[in-house]
Structure 1
Amino acid sequence: MLGWSLVFFLVAIASAALGFGGIAGTAAGIAKILFFIFLALLVISLLMQILRGKPPRL
């Protein structure tokens, strides 16, 4: 999921550089949403491993 977030971020940067404001804004919004979903899943995963008694694997 983090990979998709980076892809949309790069699409947003390329679109903004070429002057496509609407596409750049949409891609940046999607990248932002995917990044926060990734962070939420990471925190949930770490909490579940701590509650199970296993040390987190990073």
Structure 2
Amino acid sequence: MNNTLLIIIAVVALILLLLGGFNQALQFLLWVGIILLVVAIILFIVRAMGGRRGV
């Protein structure tokens, strides 16, 4: 009984640890995506104001 309980606790702790790591990785990727989006918008605005007109 004690071994089974320890295995269950270890598995739950491992799952929570992995989910916590994935959550931090997803938050990092979310910030990278937001920064890239802002840079793309700024470049689009600069290009539109630059006077280069497409046909």
User: How many residue pairs get matched?
Assistant: 39
Residue 55 of structure 1 and its aligned partner are, at CA, apart by 4.6
CA RMSD of aligned residues (A): 2.1
Q: Which whole-Å CA distance do the structure 2 matches of 1:36 and 1:49 have between them?
A: 20
Question: What is the TM-score normalised by the length of structure 2?
Answer: 0.62
Identity %: 16
Q: Secondary structure at the match of 2:40?
A: helix
| Structure 2: tracts of 5 or more residues without a match | 1-14
Aligned CA distance change for structure 1 residues 25 and 48 (closer, same or farther; 3 Å): same
- Give TM-score, length-normalised by structure 1: 0.59
Q: Structure 1: which 4+ aligned runs deviate by more than 4 Å?
A: none
State the 1:54 CA deviation.
1.8
| Larger RCO, structures 1/2 (Cα 8 Å, 6+ apart) | 1
Deviations 1:8-57 (A, max 9, x none): xxxxxxxxxxx41111000000000000000000000000011011258x
Which of 1 and 2 has greater Rg? Answer: 2
